[in-house]
Structure formats: structure tokens, C-alpha cells
Amino acid sequence: MGLRENMVSVVIPAYNNPTYLRRALTSAWEQTYRPIEVVVVDDCSPISLEPVIGDFTRMADEHSNMRYFRQAQNLGVIENFHSGVAQAKGKYLVPLPHDNRFTDKRFFEESVKIMSRQSDCHLCYGNARYENSQRMALRIPDVLTFRDGWSLLEGKDFIQLYRRGGMDWSPAIVLDHAMALSLRAYGEPYVVNGAVSRRLGIAQDDAFSYVFLLSGVGAVALCERPVCEIGTPPESYSRSNRSWKDTKRKVKFVIFYNISRADLKGRYAFHIKKCF
């Protein structure tokens, strides 16, 4: 079955913390863009998160849909996310960790409009703010110019800022899911999935590898304003996972090494590989 051309699929990998999950769901549901589907994948939480989903499921209509999947056993963050990606039916995909939430209701709408009009743009990237803080996720250089809050960058220029230019990272992403699938951007060798994690004794992660791969094939639209809040609960993956803290440098090395060695597609592929 093909992807639905104008749909946005929001994939939320979740584990415990129903309060944060409800906030994430609300922020996705309140986006102005339609049609939309929200796919929640519960990584075998000790207490099922399905009751949280029920309120939203009852609000579903022909333009908005909520789907819930519960793993039979705990898979880990990347395996759980990938199972949600496999369920996504939209041309556009939004990865949304359950402890984050969107604060700009028009972010999806503006992102899809840009990618629809700019045929070589396959990634929209927004700024974010940390919870209970004025700290911004991105340090955007003054040399960039923005129109209506957005700047369209060549992939090589964006990735230079993202990888080595000190801009840092943000989880506020709307991506061209069809293009990502064609690049095999969600799978090996660009991620540390469960099998690789066990084999190498390092944490699961993807280091947002799809950002690099999509930047290699075209332009990136960058939104300077904060459109997302990064949740910081004590049990968040990066704060509570000892394995991730101890092995994150090794995880990134494995992923970035594999990207540098891969047969990348796209006119900026050479520039992407140069960054590693």
C-alpha cells in the first residue's frame, strides 16, 4: 500500500510517564494541519498507556486518526520507534518523543506548505526550548536571513552548521517520509538498533541519521522560532539511561563512520561525507 500523499504521520515512541504522553498527544492533535494520524507505540510499559489514548481516539474523524500499539516485550527506544515508523501511512513524518511537545500549532502546516512548493526540500527543522527554561536548542548564526520565520538552506550548508558549525540539534522535525524510505534512512547501517546494541555493548540510538541523509539530497527549511518544548523528566532516555550516557560517543562514532562509508545518494552526498 502506498503512502497517503498529503498526510502527516506523527510517530510517538512511549514508555511510562502518561502525563508527558498526554501533553505530547495534545500538542500533535492541536496542530492546524489536516489530514493527520498519530501513531503511539508503547514499549511494554509496566502499566499500559492505552487509557491515555482513549480520550483522543474518541475525537478521531475522517481527517484525524489515532492508533495505539503495545509491544509484547520491551524492545528499546530505536526498535520501538522503528515499529511505529513501519505503521506510518503519511507522505510526511514527525518523530515525537513522548516527553516533548509542540508549542507552535502551525508548524506542520507551514512545513508541508514549504515542502509542497519546494520540490527539492525534504526536511523542515525548527528551533525548540527546554522545559522550565529560556534555553534554546539551536544557536542560529546571525548571517542567516529569514522570511516569515523561515530560511531555505542548501543541504550542504545546513549540515555544515548542524554537524560542525555549533548550531546544535533540535527534535522539531517534519520530514519527507517517502524520500526517507527510498534512502533507507531509518535502518542499518545508519542506526544502532537492538541487534547492533547487543553485539557491540552500546546503547540504541540513531543520532538523527535521517537528518544527514535527507540533507544530502536537497534543501532544508530552517525555522528560527521555537516550535517545540523539550521535556526533561528525570526518567527521560538521555538522563536515566546509564548505557546511553556511558556509550553515546561510541554510538555516534559507529553511526557517523557508517554514514561516511556509505554509498549516499544526492547532489550533496559528497559534502555530507566530508563532515565526518
pLDDT for position 188: 92
pLDDT tier for residue 1 given thresholds of 50, 70 and 90: low
In tens, the pLDDT along 235-268 reads: 665 555 666 578 888 999 999 999 999 999 899 9
Return mean pLDDT, the chain. 93
pLDDT, residue 235, reads 66
Q: Report the half-sphere exposure of 219 (CA within 13 A, side-chain side).
A: 15
At 221 the pLDDT is 98
Print the domain residue range for 124. 4-274
What is the value of pTM for the model shown?
0.94
**What's the confidence (pLDDT) of residue 28?**
97
- Cα torsion through 165, 169, 172, 177, rounded to 10: 80
Cell numbers placing 3: 503512502
Q: At 185, which amino acid appears?
A: A
pLDDT, tens only, 98-126: 999 999 999 999 999 999 999 999 999 99
pLDDT at 20: 95
Q: How confident is the model at residue 34 (pLDDT cuts 50, 70, 90)?
A: very high
Q: Identify the CATH number of the domain in which residue 186 sits.
A: 3.90.550.10
Structural domain total, the chain: 1
Do residues 74 and 116 touch, judged by C-beta distance below 8 A? no
Q: Cis before residue 171, ω within 30 degrees of 0? A: no
- The helix or strand, by DSSP H or E, that contains position 40, with its residue range, turns out to be strand 36-42
For the segment 47-66, the average pLDDT, to the nearest whole number, is: 90
> DSSP letter string over 176-224?
EHHHHHHTTTTSTTSSB-HHHHHHHT---B-TTHHHHHHHTTSEEEEEE
